[in-house]
Amino acid sequence: EILGVLVPRLTELTKSDCIWQRICWRLVECVPERWMEPVVLGFVQRAPGADALSRLLGNLVVKNKKAQFVVTQKVLLLQYGHTTAVLQNLLGYLSLDSLRRALLLRVLQELLETWGSSSAVKHSPPEQQLYISKAILICLSHLKEPEIESCRQELLTSMLEGVKCHLDSSLPQLRRLGMVVAESISSRINTEGPVLKFEYEEDDETRELKSLLVPTPPLCVVPNLPDDDRSEKAGAALPSVPENNKKSQAAAPVMPDEESDTELDSDDDLVPYDMSEDKELKMKAPVYIRDCIEVLTGSEDVDKWEATVKALESLIRRNPAATREVSVELAKILLHLEEKTCIEGFVELRQRAQVAVLTTDPIPVSKYLTSQFYSLNYSLRQRMDILDILVLAAQELSCPKLHGKPEDSDTQKPRIQLLPGSDSSKDWRRIVDERIKSKTRRFATGQCLVEPASSPNQFSPVAGHFFFPLIHHFDRPLTTFDLLGEDQLVLGRLVHTLAVLMYLAANTVAVTAMGKALLEFVWTLRFHVDSYVRQGLLSCISSLLLSVPAELLLADMTEELLETQSWLGDVVEKDPDGDCRRLALQNLLLMENLKKKLEAVPS
């Protein structure tokens, strides 16, 4: 309340009066130690720009240790709720005086240490990482060339360590943050040589980050000017063009006709062929599954290979019997299939064909895919492809299928047959219907459409073949694959896949056994350092509570549920990730609802 009135008035008074500046400096320097933090924070948040803040505070951060701690440590490293404008005020204030620039360099060094710490990346929320990234870029925008030259090696070392930590993260937002900050540091330390360049999708966040690298004027808020003054200042701001340039622009060179004629090629006189009715020759796709296998494995005809890839999914679904004879072999070929030509949507076409094979012959193909997930000599991309295929196939198998075409809606409604060619009969019928409708009171309306015919859940008999092999060997590291080590991105995808499979297995015979195994799996990994993995574990708990009947949960897993409830309470209170806290709270509400349902059921 006080600073809301005081700061704007002092800002006006200190613009042109150095005595008021000295008065203001003396005022803030005499603030007692225990009140220094709220006063400094209030000035930083209320000041209209870095220039105004410099006039109001002077060199307070150099003279007062408490103010220096608040400005250089607490606001930047221990808090992350301030706006970008506050960061620009604060760091711009440090850059406006030679005594304070030493603090700016120290702040940048500490920010880079935090940004490049793998422990900080794993245990701090993404919002704080974004806040620190913004502060780093604002610091870089204020550095001068001699200062960059003096700390070039430190900047390069910090950049390499930080970008590695961020690229190892499972969260796309953190990986993109690391790329943007690394590009910005590289562009400042390598002004003449090659710079780092990553491929990522730009969004509003990345555009804002890149805009922070451009230094802003010290005064952010510009007072409104009258229209005449604006036009005068705008005209004054335009660069003056010399008269010689104006003349040269007016006298643009014109190509003589003779010279242009000599440059014409003699072939231009030829009349082109009319190709408007020409049609592209399309390669005929194979009509048998075994022919497709031969084309995909050994054919050198690129057009035929492309036609086969496009037609494979529909061919598999039309010939289920022939597909079952070679299902495992076809799944192996598709898993290792690489793009020979630049075919549009190749990854999606291959994935749909793999899902078609798996849904046509679920048990042998699922056994093959789940065994290959923990095998040697597979890339992380192939292992994640296996998880995606299992999820998509499980979704397709669990959805009810409509056998045959639905009947036409007109045939479902009995109605009176009227004689054709009589307009009066139509009017008569319409009038009667309107009268009946106006006189009839309806308390409830029945269903107008016939319910679709139900069909068995095809995922029920094969749910165990999808689920248990994936959960079996997760703790056995291989030479090229370690889920509990550096391959935590794949572990996160595995955990989310198990959650989806558990949810789709509702009302199946194996759901209780799956729930027990999944609860043990979650309990083993509940303290994992990666937030993406923890989010997947909490999703597993949600799927478990929604899929397993409440009576079976209490009968078979009472102790485990009590321990899980205690753990969820700790996650709500202590987990640094906001999504994890939200998911844990949802799980606690689900448990409470299950408890109320069981209490409402009479014994």
Dist CA 306 CA 310 (whole Å) = 6
Report residue 137 CA to chain centroid gap.
22
Dist CA 20 CA 492 (whole Å) = 59
Residue with the larger pLDDT of the pair 232 and 141? 141
Residue 449 vs residues 139, 394, 441: alpha-carbon distances, Å: 65, 29, 21
Closest listed residue to residue 333, CA positions, set 301, 365, 286: 365
- Give the pLDDT of residue 216: 67
* CB contact burial 38-58 (16+ within 10 A = b; e otherwise): ebbbebbbbbbbbbbbbbbbb
Tens digit of each residue's pLDDT (9 = 90 or more) over 298-333: 877 788 888 888 888 999 999 999 999 999 999 999
Decide if 521 is inside a domain: yes
Tell me the pTM. Answer: 0.69
How high is the mean pLDDT of the chain?
81
Q: How many domains, the chain?
A: 2
H or E stretch including 53? helix 50-57
Q: Which residue has the tokens 């574990």?
A: 537
160 and 520 Cβ atoms separated by less than 8 Å: no
Residues in Cβ contact with 221 at an 8 Å cutoff, skipping those fewer than 6 apart: 48, 49
Decide if 391 is inside a domain: no
Lowest-pLDDT choice from 152-161, 259-268, 295-304, 509-518: 259-268
Tens digit of each residue's pLDDT (9 = 90 or more) over 240-293: 444 444 444 444 444 444 444 445 455 566 677 766 665 655 667 778 888 888
Decide if 87 is inside a domain: yes
Decide if 340 is inside a domain: no
Tokens for 594, please give them: 């299950």
539 and 579 Cβ atoms separated by less than 8 Å: no
Decide if 39 is inside a domain: yes
| pLDDT surpassing 70 at residue 419 | no
**Considering 156, 185, 213, which residue would you say is the last residue of a domain?**
213
**Considering 181, 213, 245, which residue would you say is the last residue of a domain?**
213
Tens digit of each residue's pLDDT (9 = 90 or more) over 292-306: 888 888 877 788 888
- Give the pLDDT of residue 421: 45
**Considering 213, 242, 258, which residue would you say is the last residue of a domain?**
213
Tokens for 538, please give them: 């909490």
Proportion of the chain above pLDDT 90, given as a percent? 29
Mean pLDDT for 86-97 is 90
Sign of the dihedral defined by the CA atoms of residues 277, 278, 280, 283, in that order:
positive
Dist CA 353 CA 334 (whole Å) = 8
Count the alpha carbons within 13 Å of 442 in the hemisphere toward its beta carbon: 6
- Give the pLDDT of residue 385: 93
Mean pLDDT for 184-213 is 85
| pLDDT surpassing 60 at residue 482 | yes
DSSP state for residue 269 in the 8-state scheme: G
Q: Which domain holds residue 17?
A: 1-213
Q: Which residue has the tokens 């039309």?
A: 318
Residue with the larger pLDDT of the pair 383 and 410? 383
186 and 120 Cβ atoms separated by less than 8 Å: no
DSSP state for residue 77 in the 8-state scheme: I
Lowest-pLDDT choice from 38-47, 229-238, 350-359: 229-238
- Give the pLDDT of residue 410: 42
Task: For residue 485, give the CATH number of its domain.
Answer: 1.25.10
Dist CA 335 CA 329 (whole Å) = 10
Decide if 597 is inside a domain: yes
SS3 call for 497: helix
Q: What beta strand segments (E) does 428-563 contain? A: none
Decide if 206 is inside a domain: yes
Q: How far from each other are the two terminal CA atoms of the chain, in whole angstroms?
A: 61
Closest listed residue to residue 538, CA positions, set 519, 516, 553, 557: 519
Residue 347's CB is within 10 A of a number of other CB atoms, namely: 11
Dist CA 403 CA 373 (whole Å) = 34
